[in-house]
Structure formats: C-alpha cells, structure tokens
Amino acid sequence: MSAAPSVDDFLIALVQQRRASPHTLAAYRRDLKRCERLLPALDSTALSALTPPQVRRLVSALAREGLAGRSIARLLAALRSYYRHLLDAGCLLADPTAGIAAPRSPRRLPATLDADHLARLLEFAGEDPLARRDRALFELLYSSGLRLAEVIRLDRADLDLADASARVTGKGNKTRIVPVGGRARAALADWLTLRETLAGACPALFVSRRGGRLSPRTVQQRLRHWADRQGIDRRVYPHLLRHSCASHLLESSGDLRAVQELLGHASIATTQVYTHVDFQYLARVYDAAHPRARRKAD
C-alpha cells in the first residue's frame, strides 16, 4: 500500500479535482488541522493512521473542549472527505469514521421579528436611489423568505413583476419560483425606475453605487444601518427577515409544506423548527390572556 497523501495534498486535490470554493477549503483546512493538533493525545502521529476507537476518542475530546454537536458533525464530514480521498488513492482499506456520529446539540430556535418591528424597519424614510434600492431589497427578503446569497444572486431577468414572482437559485444550484408580495412589488417597481442609471451592463437586480453586484457584506451593513436609524434595539441581519417570513406564514396558515416550498428546504424536518417558534408565540399569548393561566399576585 502506497504512502497516504497528507492533509495539504488532499486540500490541493480538493481545489484541482473538485473545484472547491475558498470557503469550503478554509473550513476543511481549519477542521483537519484541529484534528491533527489532537493526534498526540490519541497516541497517533497521522490522521491517515487513526482507528475507529481513536476517532471516537477524538469526538469525545472535542465535546469536552466545548465544541457544539453541529461543529463536530462538520469536522467529521471533513474527516470523511479526507478518508474517501485516501480510499480512492488505494491508501486505506476502510473509513475509520464509518458509523460514528457527532453528539446532538439542542436545536436553537430561529430568532424572528414581530410584525410591528418589521413594519418600523421596512417603512424608513429616504428617497435617494440607495434608500429606494434598500427598501426593495429588504421587502423582497421578507416577502419571499430569501437567503442572503439568493437575493444578491438575482438578475433583473429573474424578476417577473407582472406574474408577481421571482426565479431563485438556491443551495445546490436548485431553482425555484417564489411569489413576491404586494409591498415588495411596489418597492421593486420603484427601484427599477432608477436601476438602469446605476447598473449599466450589469445583469444583477440589485447593484451598488458603482454599478456592480452587491456583496453580502454590503447588504448586512445597510440593514444594520437602517435598523439603527429606525430604533430597532436588537441585532438585525438578513437571515432574520427569512426566519420572520417563515414564522409569520406558518402562524397564519399552518401550511408546513407550502412554507417548505417557499424556503427551498430539501427536508420538511428543517422547516418544522418554525412550528416550535409558533408554539412559543402561542404560549406567550396564552399566558398573557387566559384567565386560568394568569398568576395571582402574591
């Protein structure tokens, strides 16, 4: 059996053979190097030589360090990818991570904004081109429950105001058609009267002052800017609008499948987390309004 490729060799192959993104490459490097630093405690000198019992000890050590279950699962995914590379190269007989799972972490409920806070956030004053762009952008994020990456990836051709819909490319390059609400359509129509003066030949639906496609960082900064201006006294970020859209739709309709389709979730289990958010809302209303739920004064 030939010598096993090093982690650095694997990372090079990840770029050359699988066209891995810089983000994926950085995450794999960070996780695999973290594993290598724990090798002495596992009585091993190389990741390629780990046995299943040693991998279990590795998972236990990471959990004792306080690493969350989801982070350990991501790290195990990086290890499995490395071991698949070794198996393909004929340097390994079996994957030592087979059958080993990360410990479960309590699932955090997504944060949301209530309708009053959303109305205050989205109804900001400002008629300059960037304010009108931002209003259209944020209305669309909330109206259609889009991810940040999805909204900045939209081209002008993806929006059909006459049909009240947008063609969205989500995770795994999967395309879906989402409805666009009335407030969002009005804000978008207003933005489109100005867009051509900034966009030039750029196909992006939302462009910067210089005419280029918006970056994620710019959208985050602009949303924080308006949240501060509108006196929203909590952290506001693009995904919060997506969470709020899902929660409000589910609260009003109870249609889990429809919300799954809107959000582009591959599994309905991902969408079900919003039923817990809805229950929390119900519990708060119950505690505040039901005569038998109110605590008597001491």
pLDDT value of residue 179 = 93
Kindly state whether residues 268 and 123 are assigned to the same domain.
Answer: yes
Kindly state whether residues 123 and 84 are assigned to the same domain.
Answer: no
Q: Which residues pair with 176 in a beta bridge?
A: 168
In the predicted structure, residue 281 carries a pLDDT above the cut 60: no
| pTM of the full structure | 0.63
Q: How far apart are CA 116 and CA 122, in angstroms?
A: 10
3 state SS of 167: strand
71 lies in a domain?
yes
Active site residues: 147, 171, 239, 242, 265, 274
183 lies in a domain?
yes
- Count structural domains, the chain: 2
In the predicted structure, residue 53 carries a pLDDT above the cut 60: yes
Kindly state whether residues 144 and 222 are assigned to the same domain.
Answer: yes
DSSP 173: G
Q: How far apart are CA 78 and CA 33, in angstroms?
A: 11
Range of the domain at 189: 115-287
Write down which residue in 88, 103, 138 finishes a domain. Answer: 88
Could you read off the pLDDT of 93-150 as tens digits, one per residue?
Answer: 889 999 888 877 666 678 888 889 999 999 998 889 999 999 999 999 999 999 999 9
Find the CATH number of the domain harbouring 46. Answer: 1.10.150
CB 130 within 8 A of CB 209: yes
DSSP 157: G
Could you read off the pLDDT of 282-297 as tens digits, one per residue?
Answer: 566 556 665 656 554 4
Kindly state whether residues 148 and 22 are assigned to the same domain.
Answer: no
103 lies in a domain?
no
Find the CATH number of the domain harbouring 252. Answer: 1.10.443.10
1 lies in a domain?
no
**What value does the mean pLDDT of the chain take?**
87
Q: How far apart are CA 15 and CA 20, in angstroms?
A: 5
Kindly state whether residues 35 and 121 are assigned to the same domain.
Answer: no
